[in-house]
Structure formats: C-alpha cells, structure tokens
C-alpha cells in the first residue's frame, strides 16, 4: 500500500495532491500532526511495502507481561496492540490504563497502539495518554457520525494519533466520510470480545474499498483471527498493519520470529 504523494508548496491550507494507483487526485485539507505515529508509519522495517506487525498482548501471559512484550519486540514486532474492553460494548473485560503504564515503564521505546472497544471512549482518552499510549483507536459504532471529528481532535490534543474501527457487521460508509482526518483505520475480522476466534473472510472486500481511498501517511489495520495461513489474503487486500494475538503468543517463544516474518510475508527468519 505504498502510494506516491505530491505536496503543493506554499499552500497554507495544507492541501495535497495524491497519486493513487496511477491517478492524480485533489487532496483534502487535513490537519498535519507531528507525532510518533506518523514516524512509525512512514519508517517501518524496509521495504515500505511490507506491513507492520502488531502482536496483541491480550493473548500474552499477564503474569509475565513485560517479558512477553520484550520478547515479541526482540523477535521483530513493530508495535504492541492493546485491546481494551469494558464488558459493555463487548462481552469481556480486559485491560486499562494501568496495564498500559506498566508496559510503558518496561518498554520505554515501544509503540503502544490502543484499541478501545468501549461504549464511552472519550472518558479514556486522557488516562491512556497519561499512561503512555502513542495511538488511540475507537469504534464508529459508539459515537454519532457528527461527533467523530470532535473525538479525533480530543485524541490529538493529548498528543496521540487517532484511528477509527468498524466491526464485521458495520459497512464502510461508517468510516469513509472521516478518512481525511484519520491516521489509521481498523477493520475487525472477528466480532470483538475474545482472542482465538476464526477469521471472517468476507470483511476483505471492505479493506479493498477503504485501501483505495487512503493517503500514503495513513495506515489500514486488521485485527482478528489472522495467522500465517490467511495473512497473505489480508496483505493482498491492502492491510499494512496486521494484528495477531494467539497466532504469536499461543506459540513457543522460539517460534515468534518465524511467525512474525510469515505474517509480514518475508518467509523464514
């Protein structure tokens, strides 16, 4: 999903011209935010066309969390994905800002990608920012469309980048109007709530649709049931941030590097 971009010099509104699959399109006035997420997304493990791999610590050993997180980073993971569930939006209760703070303490240089599966994401923006999160994604299903830009602004005001997620049953119409102001879009490939679920292949059509509209400074993430067997389908559809939970943490540590390489499409470690 590597696309060329042509920034128009001297344009105070920050308007961009974007080359997408051979077409030159007029850009949109988009807030330019200097932040860690942008650096991560534009400077991944080369080449740029390879996806970033984000192990979901939901499947890690909570009693050995620091060790597990350090292990996957050492094995080649690009960032860590934190699945936050409130027991209301999804039928599970997982982690909060304190766990994020603990991970940050032991991994000061790791990029922490927080996925809020909660009914009231606004109440968690500041707590996760203070806990050391780099990026915050919330769900389109819980915020009225007219207020999504406001929530994104609140996330950026706390020094984080912003993402919008949609569940398997939610159409792309819930996210497309907001693409110009997003850093990342997350498409769920399972119904959120628990790790270890089976991949829902039908969501790949949504990924393809969204991918065609993204700028090169934006990423498209998929979360749920991804493993080395189906990862190629995910990459081909246009995802360039791949979240994997049990596919990584459910295997012995000595196999993590090979699994991460397989997910990325690089072959044996």
Query: What is the C-alpha to C-alpha distance for residues 251 and 259, in angstroms, rounded to an integer?
Result: 9
Tell me how far apart the alpha carbons of residues 179 and 262 are, in angstroms, rounded to a whole number.
Answer: 29
On the 0-12 / 13-18 / 19+ scale of CB atoms within 10 A, 34 is exposed
Element (H, E) at 17: strand 16-20
120 in catalytic set: no
Catalytic residue among 83, 113, 183, 240: 83
Residue 61 appears among annotated catalytic residues: no
Q: Going by DSSP bridges, is the β-strand pair 4-7/16-20 parallel, antiparallel, or unpaired?
A: antiparallel
Please count the residues of the chain.
269
Catalytic residue among 78, 86, 183, 223: 223
Contacting residues for 65 by C-beta, under 8 A, at least 6 apart: 57, 99, 102, 103
Q: Does 170 sit behind a cis peptide bond, omega within 30 degrees of 0 on the bond before it?
A: no
Active-site annotation, residues: 83, 223
């Amino acid at each position: 999903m590597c696309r060329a971009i042509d920034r128009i010099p001297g344009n105070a509104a920050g308007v961009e011209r974007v080359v997408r699959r051979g077409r030159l399109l007029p850009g949109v006035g988009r807030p330019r935010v200097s932040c860690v997420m942008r650096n991560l997304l534009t400077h991944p493990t080369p080449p740029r066309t390879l996806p970033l791999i984000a192990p979901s610590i939901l499947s890690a050993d909570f009693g050995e969390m620091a060790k597990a997180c350090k292990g996957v980073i050492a094995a080649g993971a690009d960032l860590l994905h934190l699945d936050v569930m409130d027991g209301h939006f999804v039928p599970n209760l997982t982690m909060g800002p304190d766990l994020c703070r603990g991970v940050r303490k032991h991994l000061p240089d790791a990029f922490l990608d927080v996925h809020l599966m909660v009914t009231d994401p606004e109440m968690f923006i500041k707590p996760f920012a203070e806990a050391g999160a780099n990026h915050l994604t919330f769900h389109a299903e819980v915020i009225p469309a007219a207020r999504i830009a406001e929530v994104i602004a609140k996330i950026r005001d706390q020094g984080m980048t912003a993402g919008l997620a949609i569940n398997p049953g939610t159409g792309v119409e819930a996210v497309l109007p907001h693409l110009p102001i997003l850093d990342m879009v997350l498409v769920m490939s399972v119904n959120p709530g628990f790790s270890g679920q089976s991949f829902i292949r039908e969501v790949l059509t949504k990924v393809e649709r969204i991918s065609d509209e993204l700028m090169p400074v934006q990423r498209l993430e998929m979360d749920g049931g991804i493993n080395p067997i189906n990862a190629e389908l995910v990459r081909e559809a246009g995802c360039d941030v791949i979240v994997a939970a049990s596919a990584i943490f459910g295997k012995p540590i000595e196999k993590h590097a090979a699994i991460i390489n397989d997910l990325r499409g690089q072959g044996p470690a």
